[in-house]
Amino acid sequence: MSVVVDASVAVKWFVEEPLWEEARRLVERRETLYAPDLLFAEVTNAAWKMVGRNEIGRAQAMTMVAAVGDPLSRVFPSSQLRDRALQIALDLGHPVYDCLYLACAELAGAVLVTADERLCAAVADGPYAGLARHLSEVTA
């Protein structure tokens, strides 16, 4: 299966938080993993926040940031996704940041796997429902 991952999943590759085992299973099963380049900024910001809240140390944050791209088969530039992401965001009334991942999934012929319940709810009953699945459903 081809999968686009967002930061809510990628962070779990490095931090033992709810659904971390499911997130790591995506890598262990050698799924074809894609992401927009936005993933790097979001994971880096998440690492910074976690250090600030004393949830992880600096060394773990540096490891996250350095290795987050390792499991990815391809990274799509946001410039290639932005027009479609804006269309999706306008359709859903949902932030463009999340819609970049949906646009990436659409372009890659993949499904977005996310732990973001708000994003899953936004796409649940509309024309983009098939583009996103919650992490708990994918690896159950």
Handedness of CA 56, 117, 99, 129 (dihedral sign): positive
One of 3.50.50.60, 3.40.50.1010, 1.10.10.10, 3.90.1150.10 is the CATH number of 2-38+71-138, namely 3.40.50.1010
Q: What is the percentage of the chain residues whose pLDDT exceeds 70?
A: 99
Report the C-alpha gap between 101 and 56 in whole angstroms: 26
Confidence at 130, pLDDT banded by 50, 70, 90: confident
- Per the DSSP assignment, residues forming a β-bridge with 4 are 34, 112
Count other Cβ atoms within 10 Å, centred on residue 140. 8
pTM, to two decimals: 0.94
Q: State pLDDT tens for residues 24-54.
A: 999 998 879 999 999 999 999 999 999 999 9
The residue ranges of DSSP E strands in the chain, in sequence order, are 2-5, 32-36, 74-76, 111-114, 132-134
Q: What is the percentage of the chain residues whose pLDDT exceeds 90?
A: 89
Report the C-alpha gap between 73 and 31 in whole angstroms: 9
Q: State pLDDT tens for residues 60-90.
A: 999 999 999 999 999 999 999 999 999 999 9
